[in-house]
Amino acid sequence: MSTLDKRGVVFNIQHYSLHDGPGIRTVVFLKGCPLRCAWCSNPESQRPYPELYFDKDKCIYDRGCGFCEKLCSQGAMINGCVDFTKCTNCLSCAGICPSRALAVYGREMSVSEIIEEAEREQVFYRHGGGGITLSGGEPLMQAEFAIELLKAAKERHIHTAIETCGYADTAVLLEAARYLDFILYDVKILDERKHERATGVSNRLILKNLEALFSAFPKTPKLIRTPVIPGVNDTEEDIRAIADFLKPFDNYRYELLPYHRFGEKKYKMLGRAVPMIENRLDEKKFQQLRRPVEQ
Ligand code: SF4
Ligand code: SF4
């Protein structure tokens, strides 16, 4: 099998993006994430496999449909609703739903299929140094696939970037970095216990990996980002601690991202509880936080 045939699970490909690295970019969202941030607005990115979702607004059960009920051997479809506690995610019902109320997040794609899509957009990349960005979820959760994708892009002289939470095997991250022209790296909270509470994992590996990246790839430009989450890390102390941690390094920019509450409906469509998080990030407070630290 050629490395171009290697397959991974992708949940979206976004074209002409202007926010995920330099220039105009094709962003490939890989499924799977080791973190469980309470504020995640893409819950469909978290599990590493294709998964069923149900959009009740599209269901036409009340107009006499009910195909899914007849098909589901688990009894998970009742009266135009999914009982996710019974659903085994076999995905058969997604293929027969006439209104696409039942559908699947994520599909397998090969390296060559993605590269073909990217090559079609190469004409746009030329303006402003655009290219391909791997995002997620955490793209390095599908490490072999992600690295082959980056390699194939580099062989075709396509500019490469990654959006990573940094929670990956250090050797994997450094291997990926060999094929990266630009790195977008999230540092969410410096306090380890707070980080663990908010994301489900310690930040030790994330910080160690960032140091390793700065040391092994000092010339690769990096954008370090902190999403500012109300009630989680929206204090001067939290942000200052991250900015101070970054001070000894060179060749990076630091940026705060405002939190916007999206994704509630997607949690419901996946049969999951919507995490509790304060809704509003005060704009004035956000500006006060960013002014002294951004560069
Ligand atoms: S097949 Fe689709 S539209 Fe029909 S009842 Fe089931 S979910 Fe609703
Ligand atoms: S995915 Fe399979 S188990 Fe789940 S509701 Fe559909 S048919 Fe039933």
SS3 159: strand
Q: How far is the CA of 92 from the centre of ligand 2 (A)?
A: 6
Quote the pLDDT of residue 145: 98
Contact 187, 207 (CB under 8 A): yes
Domain end (from 70, 105, 140): 105
Q: How far is the CA of 59 from the centre of ligand 2 (A)?
A: 15
Q: Are residues 36 and 79 in the same domain?
A: no
198: pLDDT strictly greater than 90:
yes
* Sign of the alpha-carbon dihedral angle for 136, 140, 145, 146: positive
Contact 139, 163 (CB under 8 A): yes
* Site to substitute for ligand 1 among 52, 53, 65, most atoms within 8 A of C-beta: 65
Quote the pLDDT of residue 294: 76
SS3 110: strand
Domain span at residue 218 reads 3-48+108-290
Kindly state whether residue 22 falls inside one of the protein's structural domains: yes
User: Mean pLDDT for the chain?
Assistant: 94
Relative to the CA of 69, which ligand 1 atom is closest?
A: 6
Kindly state whether residue 295 falls inside one of the protein's structural domains: no
pLDDT tens digits for 116-125?
999 998 888 8
Q: How far is the CA of 100 from the centre of ligand 2 (A)?
A: 14
Q: Are residues 43 and 179 in the same domain?
A: yes
**Confidence band for 295, pLDDT divided at 50, 70 and 90:** low
Protein residue closest via CA to atom 2 of ligand 1 = 97
Quote the pLDDT of residue 55: 97
15: pLDDT strictly greater than 80:
yes
Q: Are residues 28 and 169 in the same domain?
A: yes
- Higher-confidence residue of 58 and 259: namely 58
Mean pLDDT over 147-169 rounds to 97
Give the CATH number, domain containing residue 69: 3.30.70
**Confidence band for 279, pLDDT divided at 50, 70 and 90:** low
